[in-house]
Amino acid sequence: MLDQVNGLPVHVLVLHAAVIFVPLLGLGAVVYGFFAALRPRIGWAVALLAIVAPVAALITKLSGTEFYNRLLSEERVSPAGKVILDGHMENGTITLWLTLALGVVSLVLFALTARNPRALPKIADIAFGVVLLVLAGLSAWYLFETGDSGATAVWGTY
């Protein structure tokens, strides 16, 4: 199911969803975490992104695994290329887990503040904001690293 569509690897088709939705979730979550006054305006968008971004990352990861296994079974990867792809897969796994954590924390904050944007004590607001900022930053970094190593595997010489 996640292997090919009309001869194209699904991974190549779906990875762009993760590239779009993970940073959007990060940005939305940080704004939602630090700016209580904006919560009523962006809450449902952040909640939706908190579901869509991890799903996009999961589908990208699963389709990438299928693509990787196909390349190895067809012996189309050099030893140096396998090292690059192994790093790419490791970064993709980390990206998935960080995005999932970012989504869960975003949904928890949304659930706690959906009816009253200022329901939490100030210290809890700050703590949520800091956690969301860290998770968003790490998600963005690993998304970049994953994409960079994937591009190196495709376009670099190995």
Give per-residue pLDDT as tens, 6-34.
Answer: 888 999 999 999 999 999 999 999 999 99
SS3 151: helix
Assess contact for 131 and 3: CB atoms under 8 A.
Answer: no
What pLDDT does residue 59 have? Answer: 97
- Beta strand spans in 7-78 (E): 8-9
pLDDT value of position 157: 54
Angle (CA) 152 155 158, round 5°: 70
Q: Dump pLDDT digits (tens) for 90-132.
A: 999 999 999 999 999 999 999 999 999 999 999 999 999 999 9
Distance between CA atoms of 87 and 44, rounded to whole angstroms?
A: 35
Q: Where are the domains of the chain?
A: 4-155
Q: Which pair of tokens denotes residue 135?
A: 């998770």
